[in-house]
Every structure is written in C-alpha cells, then in structure tokens.
Copies of this chain bind each other. A is one copy, B any other.
Amino acid sequence: MTRARLEEPDEGPRSKRAAILTAAIEYFGEAGYEATKWSAIAGQVGIGQTALYHYFESKAHCLLTIMRLELQRSRARFVEATGQTSDPTEALRAAVRAAFAVSDHEILQMRILQNNISLLAGTRTSKREETERQAARELVQLIERDWVRLLTQGMSRGEFPVRDAHTMALALLGMIVSVWRWYRPTGTTPLAEVSELIEGCCVRMVTQ
C-alpha cells in the first residue's frame, strides 16, 4: 500500500479554490450534499457554474476533498493530543477531548464526513476523484489503527482488561463520531458537556 502524498495544489493569487471549499462546506453541511445544487455554490462564490470545473473535476470530487481534508485534520489532532502522555488512560481521555475540541466550521466538516462516509466504499470512475477517495480511505484506516494501538498499549500494560481491540476501537469511534449526526451548536446541551460525558463513557467502557 503506497502512501498517497496528496499536496494541495499551488494556489495562484486569483484562485477561488478556498472560497469554493468554504461555500461547499457551508452548503453540504447545512442542507446536505444531494440537496445542494452545485450551481448554488458557484453563485455564492460569484463565478459561473462552469468555472467550478477549473478547480474540481466534479461535485463529488469537491466533496471527497472536503472529507479527506477533515480526516487529515482530525488525525493530526489525535496524534498531537495522544503524544503528550504515555499513560494509556490519560491518552484515551486526551484523544476524546481532542475529538471534541473543534470550531463550528469543523463541526460542519465532521457532519459532512459522517453523512457521506459510505461514498468511500465504491470505486470512482474519474481519476482525481478516485485519488481523493483512496487517500480518504487510507486515512480512515490509519485513524482506526491509531485507536487500536491506543487500546492495545493499555491492554498490554494491564491498565485495560484484554478484549478484541479492533472491535472496541470501532465501537469507541462509532460512539464519538455519532455525536456529529445530532449535535447542533444552537442546541441545549453545550459541546463541553457532551465531551465530558462521552469521555467518561469511553473510559468506563475500556478500563472496567
């Protein structure tokens, strides 16, 4: 498996790529990918519909890019947060806290990621889409491995009872990311509260 080293294309000074991504995150996140018209994003950015194809091969290519960027960001945060300590329980707590230390814009990206994650399953017909898809899939696998390693270390040190680390990791991840399906910044429960509650759940799940 070769590591896909995707660097962001060099952006000229006139480039609207960042503006398109921002608008797309807004629309895809609020209204949903299928429900938003590609042309609406062009309108928001202030360019014609066809100009979008200068930056992205397709609507799906834009979506996959957003998803890949979010996966990169959230993996980086995980690595950064868990690298601070060698105590497995503390690392677990730090990982959960890192998962919920996000801006409103990043919440939208997590939501987009969750709502369209099944897109990563099937092969894409166009080249650049497929590249993004594979990069995203690899990141998903890396993130899963990161969590498995976290659990395995805790188990081998005797801090966590020994269980199927892989299934446990998927269960933890599943619980954490499921929050983005229902959480809204405008809702009644503040995110800090959700974060604390989930942190406790994760710890009890794993350590008892």
Chain A residues near B (Cβ < 8 Å): 31-32, 34-35, 115, 117-119, 121-122, 163-164, 166-168, 170-171, 173-175, 177-179, 181-182, 189, 193-194, 197-198, 200-201, 204-205, 208
Whether B121 lies near A167 (C-beta < 8 A) is no
Whether B181 lies near A193 (C-beta < 8 A) is no
Helix, strand, loop or mixed for chain A's interface? Answer: helix
Which B residue's beta carbon lies closest to that of A144? B182
Complex A-B: 15 CB contacts under 8 Å: A32-B122, A34-B34, A118-B181, A163-B197, A164-B197, A167-B197, A168-B197, A170-B179, A171-B175, A173-B178, A175-B175, A175-B178, A201-B205, A204-B204, A204-B205
Taking the nearest CB of chain B, how far is it from the CB of A45, in angstroms? Answer: 23
Whether A118 lies near B32 (C-beta < 8 A) is yes
Number of this chain's copies in the complex: 2
Cα distance, A178 to B172, chains bound together (Å):
10
Q: Which residues of B are found within 8 Å of A168, using beta-carbon distances?
A: 197, 201
Q: Which residues of B are found within 8 Å of A200, using beta-carbon distances?
A: 163
Cα distance, A32 to B115, chains bound together (Å):
13
Q: Which of B32, B167, B170, B198 contacts A171 (CB 8 A)?
A: B198
Q: Which of B31, B182, B205 contacts A205 (CB 8 A)?
A: B205
